[in-house]
Amino acid sequence: MKSPTPSPPKATSIDCRCRARENKSYCSKQLLRNALPTSHPTDAGWHTNPTPLANGRSATDWTSQGSLRVLTPNTGKLKTVVENATYGRYLASGYLVYYQGGTLFAAPMDAGRLELTGPAVPLVDGVSYSIFGQDFDLSASGTLVYRRGTAETNRILAWLDSSGKIERVLPKPGNYHTPRLSPDGKRLALSVEQEGQLNLWVYDLSRETMTRLTFDTQPQFLPNWTPDGEFLAFRSGDTLAWTRSDGSGKVEPLAPASGDANPWSFSADGKWLACWQLDPHTGFDLWTVPVERTPGALRLGRPQPLLQQKGSQFAPAISPDDRWVAYDSDELGRYEIYVVPFSPQVPARGGKWQVSNEGGGVPIWSHNGRELFYQTTDRRIQVASYTIKGDSFVAEKPRFWSGQQLAAMVFYSGFDVTPDGKRVVVLLDAEDAKPETHLRLLLNVDSELRRRAQVGGK
């Protein structure tokens, strides 16, 4: 007698008590993977999370317009598969798994015709996600790892002093990113994520009013004030752009900077903009771009390398006296803060000084010319006092400026320092939005989808 065929195992959920990875080393690898193009699509847009399909001739790709698309490399054309969705993964069972509105769905897909062939079914509800990165991943064998949370992460924007006193800047929590204070400390530029779109706003701290600067479907983030506060330069999708900080002008592209450039700081004289960008041979390098000012406008000259070496270098912060540039690098295997002389005309030469000693990122100079702030790997603020002796940068042992833990940011800074150095503006996790500190596993997803197909979707 023929033995019965064993049924495929059902999907199994395991609550895995391990700390979720939020460190920058993991994030930089994700960004590097996402930044490497698989082809050259014929339409413009912000594209992330490429992944191959089973037939080897196409790849799923997401754009900030809110569509999950398929790219055919030999034609460079994109075909929309699911509207208002992101992060597609194609499984051997013939299902496309994607994220939409806090839930992971699975729908049968014909990889030949590049279209769905049936209705989607929910896999997991309440999955954490941000426009800068997801807190989940799915292997080709059908193992899902994820962290519970909300699609719209609530953060509090607040003042924080060294004693730990917290005072809210905005009354309501929101999905805020990259806060940057104006040079006079009277206004605050930040990105606000709403309905999957990230745009720039400016908050007037004395008038308590918000002014929206951009109205784009592509992410607008990393705002940088010119020294006089008249303009903001920022990352706009895959390009750099600028606009007037009072909202009276339109957004203009900043050519000829690379499409991979991420702006971080202007020099005090306003003549240079420091960025980091991806080099396929070395990793993320530091660059400076000459800034040309004309009445009512910004222009950029030809980018020049500031520091090129193996590994990843980020967040080049030019000192208030234009003599130094601080940055974070993983050259020793862990991200630490370093300072080198600022030499925009030629690549950095001379001395190099390590400031942090137990990991650090996103350096920010105090305008008093005596302190350098940065964020630790566990999202707290440390500060190092320093002195200048001739051509040498002498940093003292870093100390915790505050024990308050900042919001869980995927990659970019969650704080900025006031001009007098007495307070910082920070992003904090709202009480009802603190993410889990452990991951969850869902096993046999592919087998479960096959089983459902055999029994009519039940």
Do residues 338 and 441 both lie within one domain?
no
Do residues 64 and 132 both lie within one domain?
yes
* Mean pLDDT within 279-286: 85
Task: pLDDT band for 32, please (50, 70, 90 cuts).
Answer: very low
DSSP 32: H
SS3 content of the chain, % helix, strand, coil (to 5): 5, 50, 45
Task: pLDDT band for 27, please (50, 70, 90 cuts).
Answer: very low
Do residues 199 and 130 both lie within one domain?
no
Distance CA(194)–CA(191), nearest Å, equals: 10
6 lies in some domain:
no
**C-alpha dist (Å) from residue 357 to 152, 213, 334:** 34, 39, 10
7 lies in some domain:
no
Do residues 80 and 170 both lie within one domain?
no
Q: Which of 9-23, 32-46, 52-66, 304-318 reaches the highest mean pLDDT? A: 304-318
Do residues 198 and 134 both lie within one domain?
no
pLDDT at 258: 59
Do residues 86 and 220 both lie within one domain?
no
Do residues 339 and 402 both lie within one domain?
yes
DSSP 169: S
Please tell me the least confidently modeled range out of 118-122, 347-351, 372-376: 347-351
pLDDT higher than threshold 50 for residue 38:
no
5 lies in some domain:
no
Instruction: Provide the mean pLDDT of the chain.
Output: 81
Q: Which residues contact 390 (CB under 8 A, 6 or more apart)?
A: none
Do residues 237 and 360 both lie within one domain?
yes
236 lies in some domain:
yes
Neighbouring CB atoms inside 10 A of 233's CB total: 24
DSSP 139: -
- Residues 224-275 have pLDDT tens digits of 999 999 999 999 987 899 999 999 989 999 876 556 789 999 999 999 999 9
C-alpha triplet 443, 445, 447: angle, nearest 5°: 105
> How many helices and strands, by DSSP H and E, does the chain display?
2, 41
Do residues 223 and 289 both lie within one domain?
yes
219 preceded by a cis bond (ω within 30 of 0): no
Task: Return the bridge partners of 329, or none.
Answer: 313, 336
Do residues 260 and 395 both lie within one domain?
yes
Do residues 174 and 48 both lie within one domain?
no
Number of domains in the chain: 2
- Residues 370-415 have pLDDT tens digits of 999 999 988 999 999 999 999 999 999 999 999 899 987 655 778 9
pLDDT at 94: 86
* Phi then psi dihedrals of residue 243, to 5 deg: -155, 165
Q: Are 407 and 22 in contact (CB under 8 A)?
A: no
- The helix or strand, by DSSP H or E, that contains position 288, with its residue range, turns out to be strand 283-294
Distance CA(118)–CA(103), nearest Å, equals: 18
In terms of Cα–Cα distance, which of 402, 405, 404, 407 is closest to 429? 407
pLDDT at 82: 84
Please tell me the least confidently modeled range out of 59-63, 82-86, 93-97: 59-63
The token pair that represents 85 in the structure block: 């969705």
Distance CA(22)–CA(8), nearest Å, equals: 35
> Is 259 or 185 the better-scoring residue by pLDDT?
185
Task: State which residues form the domain around 88.
Answer: 12-150+436-454
pLDDT higher than threshold 70 for residue 4:
no
1 lies in some domain:
no
Q: Are 150 and 432 in contact (CB under 8 A)?
A: no
48 lies in some domain:
yes
Q: What is the 3-state secondary structure (H, E, C) of 402-455?
A: ECCCCCCCCCCCCEEECCCCCEEEEEEECHHHCCCCCEEEEECHHHHHHHHHHC
For position 395, which CATH number holds?
2.120.10.30
* Mean pLDDT within 181-210: 94
- Give me the amino acid identity at 446: D
4 lies in some domain:
no
> Is 45 or 204 the better-scoring residue by pLDDT?
204
Distance CA(285)–CA(123), nearest Å, equals: 40
255 lies in some domain:
yes
Q: Are 14 and 368 in contact (CB under 8 A)?
A: no
pLDDT at 197: 84
Task: pLDDT band for 214, please (50, 70, 90 cuts).
Answer: very high
- Identify the three-state secondary structure at position 25: helix
Do residues 288 and 398 both lie within one domain?
yes
